[in-house]
Structure 1
Amino acid sequence: MQVISLESLGWRQRWAEAYAPYEERYNVGRIALEHKHMYRVFTEQGDLLAEVSGKLRHEASGREDYPAVGDWVLLQARPEEGKATIHGVLPRSSKFSRKVAGALTEEQIVAANVDTVFLVNALNYDFNLRRIERYLILAWESGANPVIVLSKADLCEDPEELAREVESVAIGVPVHIVSAFTEQGIEELRPYVGDGSTVALLGSSGAGKSTLINLLMGEPVQETQAVREGDDRGRHTTTYRELFLLPGGGLMIDTPGMRELQLWHAEEGLGGTFAEIEELAAGCRFSDCRHEKEPGCAVRGGLSDGTLDAGRYESYKKTQRELAYLAAKDDIRARQQQKERNKKLSSFVKQHAKKR
């Protein structure tokens, strides 16, 4: 059983203050693995297998109220059994969220309490600027700092040219070119993973996230597979999110590949990713300019003189429409949930009135 200090897990003053009122009743730990409603938690008493309490399950209004990998949780530890019960989640400093797959309008927290997000994109046939933009939106929204990692440089004839393309859509974001095969650029990533710092790796299947984890760990802790022949796309190897402790300090969260990244509420992230478009929009003659046929539209002017890329602007408009649609669906969901709560409350009141 691995025993480690809270500080090595990234414990900071903000969580110490939030934990203080509960210190006499509960232990504290950090979620390392989530799998089918069971959790592996790193604690000072060792690695424990945990499940949420009945009360927490009952009071949860959605997935966002359950623990996620990277969360700090209040728990009752039973180290002699190697088990624990989770009673609460401490406030998150950051969270990387996306909409759950399918028709449901519900948040899925991919990783919590992350300092830096490595957005991993392979420099092969799977290279996609529009996908990088979407990852950037959610990275900025999460509260963590994005870093773009362009992997598989050995499979690309001109990685520097593609890096320049990325820099044009990821203004001010660090961009690193790496190769697991030659170990190019790996040392440049280590400063992000200092003692107590948490980095999450995000990217599509086959981007090289698990290989990167193995290199930084110094041993094969994650299974890897070659890309498929024919389309150069990756097979799913990581099937769940997991937090790893690096030998030299620092922590990394590996995540399953997400080819279809469905956005969750990300208005602030939209502004961070498309900052140059919003800066242009601020110069429009009318504050409610729709950038269509209005006179004095700075955005249309940017498109006309070539200072604004048309493909990038289309990506911006598409993302705006997607977020508006999501907000409308979420509003309907919220009203339905309130209706259900009112119905339950009314039934409760009627039952108690009869007893009197």
Structure 2
Amino acid sequence: MTATGRDPLLHLAGLGWREDLPAARAFAQAPAGRVVRVSEQHRTGFRVCDGEREFPAQSPAPWTRAGFPAEQRAVVGDFVRLEAERDQIIEVLPRSSLFRRGAAGEHLKVQPIAANIDTVLVVTGLDGDFNPRRLERYLVLVRASGAEPVLVLTKLDRCDDAGALRARLSDIEAGGVPVVSVNAKEPDSVAALAPWLGSGRTVVLVGSSGAGKSTLTNTLMGRSRMRTGAVRERDSRGRHTTTHRTLMTLPQGACLIDTPGMRELKLTGGEDVADRVFEDIEGLATGCRFRDCRHDAEPGCAVRAALAAGTLDPCRFNNYRKLQAEREAAAKVLAARQAAPQGRPRGPR
């Protein structure tokens, strides 16, 4: 409490602050300084919000040094501690979740996207953007983040075979992932997302450029805040109308983080590919004759039997193996980097 008897954390309630969050428990144990939430992240610094105003905050000096781990810097959605009298970040408070990916480029680097999120809304268009294999990749990353995924199929108004496309996601739905089809321009249609937008919750929108994230954001906000753009006819991809990650509050009570479109979705090496994404394949594997079956040409392979019977989609199985191999390769690089002294990686790149 302040000298006036006011709770300095009261204003954070509208920014997703909850007593059950690790950040709240950590601050209760050491209530020094001020708590704010990161609303924007730029190359030159951060913008933060205390529930009453938004303002720039300075980074700690170590964050600006080459080689400083990206995951130890603040990202959009983080709750950070500021000095009592200056807008200087002291530390990142503990996170409940962190959505991240392998950064684009030849060498593996981890790129944090958003923190302290409850739900990741994976947005894809019911047009040329629709790709179940890419959605499976998103789900692997979401499960690793600690948040829960929801697939949002947009452009329902432009699709004549939405039911057939959704049927191609039956394996994903069977794994417990909600799938919602919407016309992102219509508030009544977008209202189907209400179960994940309650007060105190935080959601992040991810998906390809042109998938309809900015249109969806505008409808959720009830006003045109984010620029939208046309998509190319040949592949339904658009330009990056969102240029940086931004946290905003919704009339429904939740906090929403919008992100630029992602063309590359590399694994980091810390994921569990089978975690509630390919449980059907893992379940089949328990019926293989050999416990170390690689599902190639071994006798008594239940996975190969399902492929032959047509009960397992070969494209889904091939994607499962591709993601497993990618994760294993990334894990080796990650282990080498963690073992290297002072953040100087050795070994494979």
Partner of 1:22: 30
The yes-or-no answer on 1:11 pairing with 2:56 is no
User: Which segment drifts farther, 41-50 or 103-112?
Assistant: 41-50
Partner of 1:136: 139
Partner of 2:171: 168
Displacement, 1:293?
Answer: 2.3
The secondary structure found in structure 2 opposite 1:110 is strand
Partner of 1:353: none
Displacement, 1:76?
Answer: 1.7
Aligned mate of 1:65, from 60, 65, 72: 72
State the alpha-carbon separation in 1 of the partners of residues 146 and 207 from structure 2: 18
The TM-score with structure 1 as length reference comes to: 0.88
- On the 8 A contact 2:269/2:334 being kept in 1, the answer is no
- On the 8 A contact 2:269/2:328 being kept in 1, the answer is no
State the alpha-carbon separation in 1 of the partners of residues 267 and 216 from structure 2: 25
CA displacement, residues 314-342 of structure 1 (integer Å, 9 cap, x when unaligned): 0101111111111122233234345859x
State the alpha-carbon separation in 1 of the partners of residues 280 and 127 from structure 2: 28
Displacement, 1:236?
Answer: 1.1
Q: Percent identity of the aligned residues?
A: 46
Partner of 2:302: 298
Partner of 1:107: 110
Aligned mate of 1:248, from 236, 243, 252: 252
State the alpha-carbon separation in 1 of the partners of residues 316 and 136 from structure 2: 9
State the alpha-carbon separation in 2 of the partners of residues 339 and 98 from structure 1: 19
- On the 8 A contact 1:129/1:166 being kept in 2, the answer is yes
Let me know the Cα RMSD of the aligned residues: 2.2
- On the 8 A contact 1:238/1:257 being kept in 2, the answer is yes
Higher helix share: 1
- On the 8 A contact 1:178/1:184 being kept in 2, the answer is no
Partner of 1:151: 154
- On the 8 A contact 1:243/1:251 being kept in 2, the answer is yes
Change (3 A) 1:50 1:103: same
The yes-or-no answer on 1:74 pairing with 2:89 is no
Question: After superposition, where does 1:259-278 map in structure 2 within 5 Å?
Answer: 259-278=263-282
CA displacement, residues 51-77 of structure 1 (integer Å, 9 cap, x when unaligned): 212255569841011001111111125
- 5+ residue gaps, structure 2: 1-8
Amino acid at match of 1:28: V
State the alpha-carbon separation in 1 of the partners of residues 290 and 81 from structure 2: 51
- On the 8 A contact 1:99/1:107 being kept in 2, the answer is yes
Aligned mate of 1:234, from 235, 238, 248: 238
Change (3 A) 1:170 1:338: farther
Number of equivalent positions: 334
State the alpha-carbon separation in 2 of the partners of residues 293 and 151 from structure 1: 41
- On the 8 A contact 1:167/1:175 being kept in 2, the answer is no
